[in-house]
Amino acid sequence: METLLLSDRCAGDISRAGEILRRGGLVAIPTETVYGLAANALDEEAVKGIYRAKGRPSDNPLIVHISHVSQLAPLVREVPEAAKRLAAVFWPGPLTMILPKSDLVPRTTSGGLDTVAVRCPSHPTARAVIDAAGVPLAAPSANLSGRPSPTTFCHVQEDLTGRVDALLDGGDCAVGVESTVLTLAQGTPRILRPGGVTLSQLRSVLGEVEVDPAVVHQLEEGRRAASPGMKYKHYSPAADVVIVDASPEEYVSFVNRKGDGWALCFEEDVPFLQVPTVPYGSRYDSSAQAHRLFDALHCLDQVGAKKAYARMPSKRGVGLAVFNRLIRAAAFQVVNPTGVQVVGLTGPTGAGKSTVGKVLRERGCYVIDCDQVTRSAQVYDSACLEELSGAFGPEVCPCGVLNRAELAKRAFASEEARNRLGEITFPRIIRRVRQLLEEGRAQGFKILVLDAPTLFESGLDSACSRILVVDAPKEERLARILRRDGLTKEAALSRLEAQPSPDFYTSKADWVVENGPGAEVNSAVETLLRDLLEERENTCL
Ligand code: TXA
Ligand code: MG
């Protein structure tokens, strides 16, 4: 079949795409998530063409794309209140809603189900094509079944040239992972596939929202998938992908030691790796990971990689979508080379980190209090005291004994002095913390916790496989500092102001424990430990 190449930058190409679709043809179109392979959703023959072109099993239903919320009602039996609220907030955008279908939607489109998935994309070209076609468009991702989804025009050309009527170039897709699929068709709203709209965004509109177990777990043999797409092998590059669940440092040393594959890593890892790399975004930027992931998987194919070791993404926010795609690309293979988890515990002053540290210790974790290390004799050994006297004058260590008050006075007198103190003490603090980590491992602890107010500033986050942030409302943090440290209100406020914003911490977290008045810290800790233990069970050590 001759495949016409169109572009949304060429006048007339959008109406040409619309025409082809109206006639019952197939056109690959850009959307903000991934490219879709579109056909008239109401034309059974056209829709059959999609399944054929993709090699898609006919029981895997398609998403119907509309350009305006008013086009939803004819496709479904009724539009519930929840759908109206969601549409008002998230449409146009990367949210797909599943509802009982009307008779207008052929069963071929819904994969034989009584429900239909509908989404209103935000990409202007996608909307213009829907309008030009004048019909709702069924569009699965525009890849061959089983392959990674296409996020660039190049990907679409690779998979579909010669198989469909036209490909419409609209540049790269912004989000990079497919829409969030949410079913409203039975009971509590439930995420069947995570995507650009996050669990917490949905909860902020609907209250209760569940996540289908198939999102992060492998379906047991013979169990029915709520979303048929979840049961098929998916997003697979030709390479054997294994996720390495470890800190950045352990990841790098594991992959270098193996030396037999590609590193599907984060940008920060690249300088340290001795094997060829394909980075997918950076460690604390789930949106960038989502944007890059599918292209990185395509890259692995292009270079003919046989084996790839992937960094474990965070599962928070859009990270859940990244993890969901990557774990399928990896056919659920996860390894933890050290068999331990190192959890970095941090957050703004006064948020109540030590309370959480205490609970973790009671639950059998090995907790290293970095503040305590900072003041410990192991850091202020005789060589350190000598350097401090040299830098700040002999008065800070009269007769070889540290005068903390004098040191504080001199070291905090200027930015330069503070930096000097850091240069002398930081390497020693970090060495001592690492020693303690080794001791914890040697004692057989499986969960080690680094309680460190300056986890990120010190670079110790590179020793952590997970980040736990404790946060509390500013008023509460202020009250706690006042109670604890006996400062004036002005002094306490200026200490709070001198710190990075809570967002600096929470944006990097795998978990955030809200420790405001009346918070259930125990149950929050319980939940995250359960997560960690459950993950251990699913990991090949
Ligand atoms: O972002 C996206 O959603 C992209 C772009 C092109 O819009 N489309 C997309 O479609 O990802 P597709 O076909 O690759 O994935 C649709 C997913 C599949 O997992 C399918 O099983 C599920 O949605 N799905 C569709 N209709 C369903 C239904 N009625 N009930 C349960 N799951 C459904
Ligand atoms: Mg797909």
pLDDT one-digit tens code per residue, 304-328? 999 999 999 999 999 999 999 999 9
> Domain range spanning residue 295?
242-335
Asked if the model's pLDDT at residue 232 lies above 80, the reply is: no
Both 53 and 92 in a single domain? yes
Q: State the total domains in the chain.
A: 3
Element (H, E) at 335: strand 334-335
Asked if the model's pLDDT at residue 152 lies above 80, the reply is: yes
Both 327 and 353 in a single domain? no
User: Would you say residue 232 lies in a domain?
Assistant: no
Give the separation between CA 329 and CA 336, rounded to whole angstroms: 18
What is the reported pLDDT for 412? Answer: 87
At residue 201 the predicted structure's pLDDT band, cuts being 50, 70 and 90, is: very high
User: Would you say residue 22 lies in a domain?
Assistant: yes
User: Would you say residue 224 lies in a domain?
Assistant: no
Output the residue whose Cα is nearest ligand 1's atom 19: 229
- Which residue, 301, 317, 335, sits at the end of a domain? 335
In the block, residue with structure tokens 């099993």: 57
Q: Ligand 1 center to residue 193 CA distance, Å?
A: 8
Burial class (CB in 10 A: 0-12, 13-18, 19+), 223: exposed
Tokens of 156: 């679409």
- Cα–Cα nearest to 163, from 302, 51, 14, 57: 51
| Angle of CA points 270, 274, 277, to nearest 5° | 45
At residue 195 the predicted structure's pLDDT band, cuts being 50, 70 and 90, is: very high
Asked if the model's pLDDT at residue 236 lies above 90, the reply is: no
- Cα–Cα nearest to 66, from 48, 103, 93: 93
How far, rounded to the nearest angstrom, does the alpha carbon of residue 413 sit from its chain's CA centroid? Answer: 42
CATH number, residue 264: 3.40.50.11030
Both 378 and 411 in a single domain? yes
What is the reported pLDDT for 8? Answer: 98
Q: Ligand 2 center to residue 37 CA distance, Å?
A: 10
Beta strands in 273-333 (DSSP E): 307-311
Output the residue whose Cα is nearest ligand 1's atom 30: 227
Both 447 and 345 in a single domain? yes
Decide: 194 and 320 in contact? Cβ < 8 Å: yes
Among the atoms of ligand 1, which is closest to the Cα of residue 141? 14
Among the atoms of ligand 1, which is closest to the Cα of residue 149? 14
φ, ψ of residue 469 to 5 degrees: the values are -110, 135
Both 527 and 386 in a single domain? yes
Asked if the model's pLDDT at residue 234 lies above 80, the reply is: no
Output the residue whose Cα is nearest ligand 1's atom 32: 227
Q: Ligand 1 center to residue 139 CA distance, Å?
A: 8
Both 415 and 330 in a single domain? no
List the shell of residues around ion ligand 2, using CB closer than 5 Å: 141
Q: Could you tell me what percent of the chain has a pLDDT over 90?
A: 87
What is the reported pLDDT for 330? Answer: 94
pLDDT tens-digit series, residues 414-445: 999 999 999 999 999 999 999 999 999 999 99
Q: Ligand 1 center to residue 148 CA distance, Å?
A: 14
Decide: 118 and 99 in contact? Cβ < 8 Å: yes
Q: For a pocket test of ligand 1, which of 227, 233, 294 has the largest count of ligand atoms closer than 8 A to its C-beta?
A: 227
Q: Ligand 1 center to residue 98 CA distance, Å?
A: 10
pLDDT tens-digit series, residues 279-297: 999 999 999 999 999 999 9
Pocket of ligand 1 (CB under 6 A): 31, 33-34, 36, 60-63, 94, 96, 98, 110, 113, 115-117, 119, 121, 139-141, 178-179, 181, 192-193, 227-230
Both 411 and 493 in a single domain? yes
Beta strands in 413-465 (DSSP E): 447-451
CA-to-CA separations, 199 to 39, 106, 147, 191, 519, in angstroms, rounded = 30, 30, 26, 8, 21
Both 263 and 185 in a single domain? no
What is the reported pLDDT for 518? Answer: 87
- Which residue, 285, 316, 335, sits at the end of a domain? 335
CATH number, residue 470: 3.40.50.300
What is the reported pLDDT for 484? Answer: 85
DSSP state, residue 31: -
CATH number, residue 162: 3.90.870.10
Among the atoms of ligand 1, which is closest to the Cα of residue 113? 29
pLDDT tens-digit series, residues 209-226: 999 999 988 877 667 777
CA-to-CA separations, 323 to 219, 241, 286, 392, 501, in angstroms, rounded = 16, 13, 10, 50, 27
Both 385 and 311 in a single domain? no
